[in-house]
Amino acid sequence: MYGVVLWADECDQKAVIWCEDHGNLAYYNGAEHSMHEGVALDPGDLIQFELREEQDCRRASNLRRVDAGWAPGLPENLRSTKRLAPLPKADNVVAFPGVRR
C-alpha cells in the first residue's frame, strides 16, 4: 500500500500514515523490523508499506520511502480543514502512484 506520512518522531522512530485507501490511519513503530531502518521519515514523505489490521488499529511495516517531500503541505492542510457539514461525494480524488481506478 502507498501512504503519506502525516506525523513522524525521529527519536522514537514512530509515524502516523494516511493510507491510499482513505481508510483509518496506519501507525508505524520503528521497533518492528523494517526495510526503512536508518532513514528518518518526515511529514509529507510518500511511502510504500505492508499493512496489517489489528483489533484496535492498522499497523504499517516494511516501509520504503518512494519520494521524500512528496506532499509537504498535506499535514498542515488537513489540520486547517474545518468540516461544518458532510462533504459531497466527488469523482475528483487523486490516486496515489501505481494505483489504477
What domains are defined for the chain? 2-75 (2.40.50.140)
- For the entire predicted model, the pTM comes to 0.68
With a CB cutoff of 8 Å and minimum separation 6, the contacts of 23 are: 58
Please give the grid coordinates belonging to residue 72. 509537504
Cα 54 from chain centroid? 17
Q: What is the pLDDT along the chain (101 residues), one digit of tens a residue?
A: 999 999 888 777 889 999 999 889 999 987 655 554 556 788 999 999 999 999 889 999 999 999 888 877 776 766 666 655 565 666 666 666 665 54
> Which among 10, 99, 97, 101 is positioned nearest to 47, based on CA atoms?
97
Q: How many CB atoms lie within 10 A of CB 82?
A: 4
Alpha-carbon torsion angle 70, 12, 76, 67, nearest 10: 0
